[in-house]
Structure 1
Amino acid sequence: MKKNFMKGGDYHSEVAAEMYPYIKEAIMKGEVSTSSNERVPTVKSRFPKERSTAKAINFGILYGAGAESIAEDLNISVEQARDLMDAWYESKKAVRRWQADVMAQSSQEGKSRSLLGRHRHLPLLLEDVPYRPTASAASARR
């Protein structure tokens, strides 16, 4: 991601190319580019729906949204949202491993640690409590 920003590329377009093989093929053929300083159309201009979907998945996963929330945001089925999330994770296997490691450590310790070393105590992680969204949680997502 950092390399992409440094070279002036569009991260969401890069992710769209990872998620949609036909976009990757168009890039490889030189028909589109992920940066606007090329002499061909951008992924953003030629594949706006796919790029927008990739952007929604990027931010959804970043903020911890599940397939249900992403499906609602994109107005698609939960199954389609899961497929899109799987496609996203396919090219970012390290993210899934990192998330699993953080969840395991947090569940074991009952707290989570930020990148700056601050702790957030999460006592319900140690209990076997099923998640039930409340009406206020559902409205907060909107």
Structure 2
Amino acid sequence: MRVMGLDYGERRIGVAMSDLFGWTAQGLEVIDQKIVKDPMGRIAELSKQYEVETIVVGLPKNMNGTVGPSGEYCIAFAEQVRQTLSLPVQMWDERLTTVSAERTLLEADVSRRKRKLVIDKMAAAILLQSYLDSIAK
């Protein structure tokens, strides 16, 4: 059972993938929407290549649990993914995943330029791992 995690942003989409058993998540790539002409097509390619059964899209909530404008964009994106790929799509609270990814990269002394290139796929991996851990219980 492979699960794909997507950390949606207006500019970039971080992509993570689970292992075949659905136990661990690894960052896969970052889809830059200003460079990739058809981001949904790329997501479809990856889902076929890895035989994805479920997709998890990060839902950025405010600290009080409400959904703001960026959350609304993510909900609309998740619906587009669901309709385009005809796969189950789960929304998952992604509060502080980017902060956690940034902290990890800073602790590893990764340069600012390199952090910018990988932060989104790392955030996707963190949110996907959180989801996988919750369904394993």
Give the TM bin, normalised by the shorter chain. Answer: under 0.3
Q: Larger % of strand: which?
A: 2
Per residue, is there more helix in 1 or in 2? 1
More relative contact order in 1 or in 2 (CA 8 Å, sep 6+)?
Answer: 2
